[in-house]
Every structure is written in structure tokens, then in C-alpha cells.
A and B are shown apart, each in its own frame.
Chain A
Amino acid sequence: MAEPLRKEDPIVDPLDLPVEDPLLDPEPATDRPLRWIGTPFRRVDGRAKVTGATRFADDLTFPRMCHVKLVRSRIPHGTIRSIDFSAAEKIPGYLGSLTGADTPIPFGILPVSMDEHALCPDRVRFVGDPVAAVAATTEDAAYEAALAVIVEYDPLPTIASVEQAIATPEPRIHEYGDEGNLHKKISMRFGDVEGGFAAADRIFEDLFFYEGNTHLPMEQHATVAVPEDDDRVTVWSSTQTPHYLHRALAKVLELPASRIRVIACSNGGGFGGKSDPFNHEIVAAKMALQLGRPAKIVLHREEVFYCHRGRHPVTMRMKTGVTKEGKITAHHLETALDGGAYGSYGVASTYYTGALETVTYEMPAYQFDGLRAFTNKPPCGPKRGHGTPQPRFGLEVQLDKIAVALGQNPADLRLQMLVPPDTITANWLKLGTVSLDRCIEAVVAGSGFRERWGNLPEGRGLGLACGSYLCGAGLPIYWNHMPQSGVQLKIDRSGCVAVFCGEAEIGQGSDSVLAGIVAEVLGVDLSDLRLCVADTDLTPVDLGSYSSRVTLMMGNAALQAAERARDLIAKAVGDQLEVPADRLVFAERRVFDASDPDKGLAFQDAVIAAEARFGTLGTVGSYIPPRSPGKYRGAGVGPSPTYSYSASVVEVEVDPATGLWRPLHVWIAHDIGRALNPVLAIGQVEGGVYMGLGEVMMEEQAFRRLPRHLSNALVHKFPSMLEYKSPTFLDMPPVTTYLIEDPDPQGPYGAKEVGQGPLLPILPAVANAIYDAVGARVDQVPIHPHMVLKALDAKKKGAEPRYGPKTFPEADYGETLIVPTPAQGGDGTAINEFRGKLRSGMRGVATGTMSTRDEALRQKKALTTKLEDR
């Protein structure tokens, strides 16, 4: 009798694990038609969602639950002189309050910019910045009490724009940052850019502007904190990143992480707006512990606009050199980001505005200069595409101008310079599969682009554009050597397979990806699985739903856990039936001999055999991305196991008399690697198209000054769902979606991302279509009718038929990092970077420049990844 297994496979350093390639090493015995993968099965949370049974955070109630509301700053910049709760305390039902003095420990999603406090201790930095919190027995009383709190401020000068931030180094909005009110400055040069421009036949220079916009999830942020035992607390929250929230709570509450449990409820939409740890989440936890009773906090819609963390407004200056055949010789991109009042993901966002510029078209020499300014507005952060839609808009519109100037069809221009698969770009990004050619051909054929572009009657036009996005950030938010996703399976004699994973379902279908993969490998039905997700006490860490990482990273971890379980069960069944384990097939809820299908066991009986043989069954799978070849400072933003690609043609109708335009049809092709569930994948594509159209048609996170006789304060122009325009049922044109499958070995079953990529080509395709329709360029988004009219006016006067930014905020980006490209024989490092011990041990991650005092503290503090020490 074989020895029972005492423990799982020995733990292997994840960095040494070979990349599993299900395509190259198919298991012969399990070679059978796929049952779930590639089929449009009903999403596993579908029934709960259509019956109203899904419990979103605000649907939760607990005994004695109290309600908490925040008091927010009414001025854009100033110091707090006094906070008076005396009127609030008299409100019947009032229970207690918190101020910044109660939340002195700073936090923030990025270790390099932990510049937030749950409640402002002394300074407020935008209209909406939380300064106090009150709790009461009812929500009405909490609202009344919050309104009754009197806060006195001493105003400071307001900084409203990037230009103003550059011109106003003092007073500083924050006491850290690269210079004055510039949070971050970046300058990197890859290859011989000067030589590239000298070798060009033509050089094109353009300015673009991409207005900020916000996620507008249908569900407002909500959190319920429930104290337990003597010193434990459970925090239920609408968050995309329970793990990062967990770390932030441990830091700010000064409790061991093991005493804090974060459960991410199903998000009613996230799109990046629920990936920071938030003021309201910390306040709810603190209030619950202080009062000894569950505390719920829900943001009303106006507050969601202040919470924000949305798309940065970016001004871009783009210079491209091309040969007369249309090959790029050099590219220089400058971006200026309006960051708002806090860091959030902003340092990463700034790097992202430059990082993916090289992954679609061959670009031998590339310079990127970027800066992020602090301003007294709600902080910007990650929104679907995270810093890449802005430069993608500029690049795809500029390429359209280049095509017209060179007399080439925009599709052919791109096709002849596509980056080959499996190459390393000038900025050291390792690419995987690239099926952008098939994407372009699909939308070109579907729309009749080659025949109709340039040939439609006045007022009708077609525009083409492409895009690319990563499949998960290659590095975690905080540096560590641990897996980025983990899945555990518990299988017992009932035949039920319990699947544990820290992933957070935000509507994108991650629960269904997890279930589909496990059910596929084990040959069971989806209803044989029980998912336990997004619970920091119970589930292994998954870093969260951001950067389109979940399908690839969680999927690979799930594959590993399920294959280990399958192998264990196969061993037991094989011995029992006297069949070689590798001839066993797991399908249709059975385990049977491939050469004699009647010889087998029901899955439940197979588990019983394994449980009897090996004891209680449990397996683990984990995933960590491959190391990136880039080693220079800043190389940590951009790498990914692989990249998705999209191409789109949009047909528009423009009225030259009014400038009014509307999209008539969208063709979109997405290089998805493998559609694990095509109906869900199409949902993501159509949702991305919708959101891209919203941004180019109407969405604006814009600000205005109140009249001087009121306060002259800088306030949000449209903090409601009526005024902040988003598309309705009536605004969406027909969408034709092509899912292009070219399996990538990095992804589970070859799958790449689909949640963010399809948004990217939409905006430039629209701008290019408007040009095709009326011969006018609008080099900014959203494209309002008056902009089209102004461009047409210029055209009539014989001036350049363009509307767009005329100036670029000039600033000094600091010393330029010089990084030789792979073609130049580089090794991924910069030649002028200090090669000693990298600051804070954060290899490849931008550290920014802290003030001298903070830097001294950092270097003294021992490097640790223990949550308790953060």
C-alpha cells in the first residue's frame, strides 16, 4: 500500500516555476472537447443578480448598526482653525464623532505617496476633503448631525491647473514631491532619439488634451464595519482591492492584520474607482471599534464625485519622425497630468502615460517626459485604461494625420509597422502574442474601410484606431516576493468543490472565470462548486481587480490548484481501477478510462477514493508573473506577462452647420488570446466601447469658480448624474464585435485581458472619423459640437482646420535617464543611474523624491513586508 501523502508538494520559489503552457504540453488523457471554456455559460452570479439577491455593501444590516456620515471641506485649500460639534451633539440619536486627531497615521495606495489621512488633521486640499465624521442611530440623524458641525477654515491660495501648479511652487499642497507643487517628474530616453529625428523624412508635432472624467459606478461606495471579540473588526466594503484595504487598515488602526477581516462585497461597478483604500472605510472601522457597534457609511452621489480617483486630465505634446514609407524613426512624448489633491495611484498613472507607447508599432527610439502636478481638486487615480487612453488618443490621431500626409490608407500605414510578437520593445517591455493585424483586417473588412474611407459624402466619415493594454501589472503595489494570486481547493466526500480565492467580483465576471476553469479541469458542473472569494480571513491573497490581472493571474493559479487536485484524485482512482493515472479522463462528473469509458467512477466516488487514500484533501495554486527585462528606475510600470490588442472603426455623421455629431456604427476587434466565456467577453468589449464613447461624447470631470462675492472657491461643475453626462440606451450605436483568438502561452487556456483594452481605440477612431466626415480635426476630448464648428471656421478662413490646445505647460523634467535599447545591446539598465542599493529596496519601482527628513527615516527603517510594520 502506498504511503499516504502527509503534506502538499514542497513549496517552490514561485520565481523558479516554469510558465505552464497548456498548449505545448496537453495532457493526452484529458484531451477531450472543452465543456465550459469557450462556451457562453450563464455567469455563476447571474441568478443572484437578476433576482436582487446579491448583497451589495449597503444591503447589509446588523443588529444595533449605526450610521456614519463625513463632514467635508467647503473650501479648496486651507487650514482647519476649529471644529465645533456642540450643535451636532444635540441632534437626537447622535452617538459620537471623529476628527483628524483620531486618525493621525497617514496612508495611501502607493508606498511612495502615503499622503492621505482618513480625516484631515490640519490642512484641507479640495472641496470635499473629509475633515470630521459623526455617527448616529439613524441615517437621517447622521446627515443632520453632519450638517450641524461647524468648521472654521483659514484659506490658502487655490491651485486650479497644471500651469498654476508649475508657476506656484509655494505654498506647497504637500510637503513632499519632486519640486514645489509638482508631485512627480519623469524623463527617460530609449535609443538614439536625436539621430532618429535626423533620419526622418518628415516630422509631425501635435498637441492634444484629454479632459478628466470619472468612473460613475451605479453603486455608490459603501462600507459596514462590525466589531467582534475584544479587538477584532470585520469590514465589509465595496472595494476592488480587499488586500490593499486590509494592509491600509492594519497600518492606520494600528491593529495586527490578523485581527482585521476585510470582505469585498460584490461591487456595483468599479472601473478603478474603488481600488484605493478610502477615508470612509477607515472611519467606519474606527467608529465601530470606538462605539462597540456595527457602523455603516454610504456615500451619496455627490460625494462619489469628490472621492473620484478618476482619469487624469492630460495635456500631451507628441513629436514623431517617419520615413516617407511610413516607418517611425523616433517618437518623443511629453505628458502633463493634473493630479488633484492627493497621490492615489498618480505616480503609476504618470508612468503609464508613457509606458505602453511602444507596444503596438515599431519604435526604435523613444523619449518620454512626464509630470504630475498637485492641484486643489478631487484626487485623480486609475480609471479603465489607467493613463493609457490619453496618449493612445494622441498617437492614433497623429498617425491618422501622418497617413493623410503620406497619402496612405490609415490601415495600411499601421499594418506595415506593427510590432512583431515575442519581441522586447525599446523601453524593455516583453511582448507575447500580437494579433493586431487580424484585428485591423477584421474591422476594415467589416466596415468596408478601404473602399469607403475618404469617399463618403460630406458629413459622413470613417475613422480607424488601435489600442493595447496589459494583462496585469507585472509588479505588485508594494514590493514583495510572494504570489500575486492564490487559489485553494477543498474537496470532500460530498463531491462539492470549494474554491477559495481573494479575487473581487466587480461585474467583470471574475467569479465565472474562476468557476469555469476549476469545473473544466475537474470535469464537474459549475453547480458542484462553492466559491468563497474576497475574504482576507479565509481566502488566499489575490491582489485585486485592477490592471486587468484577474483572468490571467487568478486563472493560472486556479489551473494549478485544479490540476493538482485532479492529479491527486487520478492517482487514487488509477490505483483502485488499475488504470494508469494519465489515461483517466475527468468529464461529465465522472472519472473514467479514456480507452474504456464505462470503466470509471462518479466524481463523488472518485473523491471518496482519494479522501480514503490520502486523507483530507486540499490543494493550492499560485501565480507570480515572469520577471521583466527592464531594470531602470521606472521600469516597474508597464511590464506584464502579455498584452491584448484592439482595433476599431467608427462611422460618424456630422452636421457641419451645428457641429453636432453622433456615432452611427462601431466595429471593434479584440485580440483576446482565448475567450474563456464569449458572451461575458463580448459584454466587456461592448462595455468598453460604451465607456469610450461616453468619454469622447460627453463625460467631463470639470471645475469652475464660484462667484467672488460667494467664495471664489474652486468647485466641481457637475457633481450629479444628471449634469455629468453619461450615455443612455438612446445614445449607443450598433456595435459589431470580433473576438480574435490567438492563444497566448502566458494565459490560462491562452486567455488575455478584455476588461480595459477595447475602450482605447474608440476615442481616436471617432476623432479620425470626424476628420473624414468634414475635414476638421479636434485634438481633444470630449469632442463638443462647438469645437467641430470652430475647426470648420478655421478651415473656411484657410487656417489649419483644427481645434485643440495651443500651448503646453513647460516645465523642467529633471535629469533624463538614458537607457540603451535591446537593439543597441543594452541590458535593461540606465547608463546614468546610480547603481548602488536602490532606495527602499523597491527594485524597478519609482520611488519619487521624498523630503530629506522622510528619506532619512526611510533609510533607517528596516525593509520589511510584514503588514504589522507598515
Chain B
Amino acid sequence: MDNGWTSLIFDVNGEPRAAVFPTHHTLLEVLREELALPGTKHGCELGECGTCAVLVDGRPILSCLALAADMKGKKIETVEGLQNGNALHPLQQTMADLGAAQCGYCTPGILMTAKALLAENPSPSDGEIRAALAGNLCRCTGYHKIVEAIVGAAALMRGEDWVAPREVLYGAVEPGGAASSAPTSPPASAVLHLVPNPGDVGALLAAPPSAPGTPPQSEG
């Protein structure tokens, strides 16, 4: 097309989606507007914050710096496609349960970048996780719970039993033997791997952790 407009059928989260858009628009703008997928965020317009990260052919890119018109024949994955039916992806489960999402604005970009990391490296070290995510800024969490969540999700995706460490959920035990009313062990109501809301137990049971290196949702 011309007159400054482009038409394209995108492959988004495994589904064909057609759009007509100004040729100069970024993938971020087209995703959020014409394709009505506002889960991917904008934070800076300049590629400095990582909230716009999506996967293109499995690689994390900054969608605010990519032209939508360049996406012909490419597989795009956004946060909206992470779930398996109504069940959360392990990364989503752990991020939600460890309080690794606070305001939630950096979360979609971090989830997609982490997904790509785990696809390439199913057992990343703390340093490898941090290096892979160094381009994603967060103002709320201080990052540690996000790293814990990725470690936990990686374990779940490798088929391991994983329980969040006590200090992550309750803090360190007050040293010196001072009387503390903080419980020294998780309450009996903690079930399965984490402490989900009762409503989410069904989701965990329905989507057992997948084999190592395979993303949980079927992608043909």
C-alpha cells in the first residue's frame, strides 16, 4: 500500500491478525492500537526502559524501536499469549505469587524477556538472569523477587518440585532469639508449590510443568 499506509497480516501469539496502519508506526503502537493488545506497555518512547519488550521469532526486541511494517512473516509473541488456556504460565504464577509484580507496568516486558531467556537457557544462574534482564527497568520491586520468580519458574518448567524459600515469603528470622510473632514456617494452608489463592489451585493442577526447554503452550 502507499499514501503512508501499510496493510499486513501479522502472526501474533500463533493467530493471524490483519491490520492497516501508518507505515511509520512502531510495532508497539500497532499492537496496542490496531491489534487491540494493550498488554505491552510504553514507558519512554526511546528504547530505554524495556516495558515494550515482545518476542519476534523467539528473540526479545524493543517494540518501540521496531517498525510494524517490518513484521511480515515473523512470529510475534506478547504477554497476552503466555497463558495456556485459562492456566497461567509458570513465569506468570511465580511472578504473581512472590509479589514480583507490584504496579505491574514493567511485568509484561519482563515476562517476555524471561520467557526467551528460559527457552535458550533452562537453568540460568542468578547472574545470567540479571544480565538478560538488565534492559528492563522496574521502579517498584528492587528486582530480587523477580529473579526469585524466574528461578522458581525455571525449576517448575524443568519438572522439579519447587517451593519458594521461607525468607522470600516471610523475611529473614530475627536474630538474637528475640520473641517474634512472625511464624517460623509457612501455614498449613500453603498448598502445592506456592501459596496460591484457592481459586488458582485448579489452574495449577490443569497445567503441570512442561518438559525442560519446551514452552507450556502448544505452538504447533
A227 to chain B, nearest CB (A): 22
What 9 pairs across the A-B complex have the smallest Cβ distances?
A52-B39, A507-B103, A49-B104, A268-B105, A690-B142, A46-B96, A686-B142, A445-B175, A59-B38
Docked pose: A140 CA to B129 CA in angstroms: 37
Q: What 0/1 pattern do residues 17 to 39 of B give for CB contact below 8 A with A?
A: 00000100000000011000111
Contact A268 B182 (CB under 8 A): no
Q: Which of A591-599, A613-621, A721-729 contacts B (4 or more CB under 8 A)?
A: A721-729
Q: Which of A38, A40, A739 has most chain B Cβ within 10 Å?
A: A40
Docked pose: A735 CA to B144 CA in angstroms: 8
A69 to chain B, nearest CB (A): 13
A793 interface residue per 8 A CB criterion = no
Closest-by-CB residue of B relative to A33 is: B187
Docked pose: A690 CA to B140 CA in angstroms: 8
A675 interface residue per 8 A CB criterion = yes
Known: A51-B88, A219-B43. A507 touches B99 (CB 8 A): no
Contact A683 B43 (CB under 8 A): no
Closest-by-CB residue of A relative to B91 is: A50
A97 interface residue per 8 A CB criterion = no
A-B contacts counted at CB < 8 A amount to: 250
Contact B142 A687 (CB under 8 A): yes
Q: What 0/1 pattern do residues 12 to 46 of A give for CB contact below 8 A with B?
A: 00000000000000000000010100111111111
B154 interface residue per 8 A CB criterion = no
Q: Is the interface of B mostly helix, strand, loop or mixed?
A: loop
Contact A217 B139 (CB under 8 A): yes
Q: Which of B155-163, B166-174, B205-213 contacts A (4 or more CB under 8 A)?
A: B166-174
Contact A442 B181 (CB under 8 A): no
A751 interface residue per 8 A CB criterion = no
Chain B residues near A51 (CB, 8 Å)? 39, 79-80, 82-83, 88, 92
Docked pose: A140 CA to B139 CA in angstroms: 29
Known: A219-B103, A678-B170. A47 touches B78 (CB 8 A): no
Contact A687 B102 (CB under 8 A): yes
B49 interface residue per 8 A CB criterion = yes
B169 to chain A, nearest CB (A): 4
Chain A residues near B190 (CB, 8 Å)? 39
Contact B96 A218 (CB under 8 A): no
Question: Which residues A485-518 have CB closer than 8 A to chain B?
Answer: 506-509
Q: Which of B55-63, B67-75, B191-199 contacts A (4 or more CB under 8 A)?
A: B191-199
Q: What 0/1 pattern do residues 175 to 219 of A give for CB contact below 8 A with B?
A: 000000000000000000000000000000000000000011111
A525 interface residue per 8 A CB criterion = yes
Closest-by-CB residue of A relative to B92 is: A50
A669 to chain B, nearest CB (A): 8
Known: A35-B189, A680-B99. A690 touches B143 (CB 8 A): yes
Known contacts A737-B167, A738-B174; can you find 18 more A-B pairs with CB under 8 A?
A: A35-B189, A38-B182, A39-B187, A41-B197, A49-B107, A51-B83, A52-B39, A56-B41, A218-B41, A446-B175, A679-B145, A679-B169, A681-B171, A686-B142, A686-B144, A722-B48, A732-B143, A737-B171
Contact B43 A56 (CB under 8 A): no
A730 interface residue per 8 A CB criterion = yes
Question: Which residues B79-104 have CB closer than 8 A to chain A?
Answer: 79-80, 82-83, 88, 91-93, 95-104
Closest-by-CB residue of A relative to B136 is: A729
Known: A39-B189, A49-B96, A722-B46. A266 touches B104 (CB 8 A): yes
Docked pose: A300 CA to B22 CA in angstroms: 20
**Which residues from chain B sit less than 8 Å from chain A, CB to CB?**
22, 32-33, 37-46, 48-49, 51, 78-80, 82-83, 88, 91-93, 95-108, 111, 129-131, 133-147, 167-176, 178, 180-183, 186-187, 189-190, 194-200
Docked pose: A48 CA to B129 CA in angstroms: 24
Contact B144 A42 (CB under 8 A): no
Closest-by-CB residue of A relative to B146 is: A729
Question: Which residues A287-346 have CB closer than 8 A to chain B?
Answer: 300-301
Contact A46 B82 (CB under 8 A): no
Contact B103 A506 (CB under 8 A): yes
Chain A residues near B180 (CB, 8 Å)? 740-741
Contact B139 A216 (CB under 8 A): yes
A466 to chain B, nearest CB (A): 16
Q: What 0/1 pattern do residues 737 to 764 of A give for CB contact below 8 A with B?
A: 1111101000000000000000000000
Q: What 0/1 pattern do residues 246 to 285 of A give for CB contact below 8 A with B?
A: 0000000000000000000011111100000000000000
Closest-by-CB residue of A relative to B130 is: A729
Known: A39-B187, A679-B168. A52 touches B134 (CB 8 A): no
Docked pose: A798 CA to B79 CA in angstroms: 60
Chain B residues near A58 (CB, 8 Å)? 38, 42
Contact A509 B102 (CB under 8 A): yes
A867 interface residue per 8 A CB criterion = no
Closest-by-CB residue of A relative to B49 is: A721
Chain B residues near A114 (CB, 8 Å)? none
A702 to chain B, nearest CB (A): 18
Chain B residues near A44 (CB, 8 Å)? 197
Chain B residues near A852 (CB, 8 Å)? none
A687 to chain B, nearest CB (A): 5
Q: Which of A269, A271, A720 has most chain B Cβ within 10 Å?
A: A269
Contact A39 B195 (CB under 8 A): yes
Contact A218 B106 (CB under 8 A): yes
Chain B residues near A722 (CB, 8 Å)? 46, 48
Chain B residues near A729 (CB, 8 Å)? 129-131, 133-134, 136, 143, 146-147
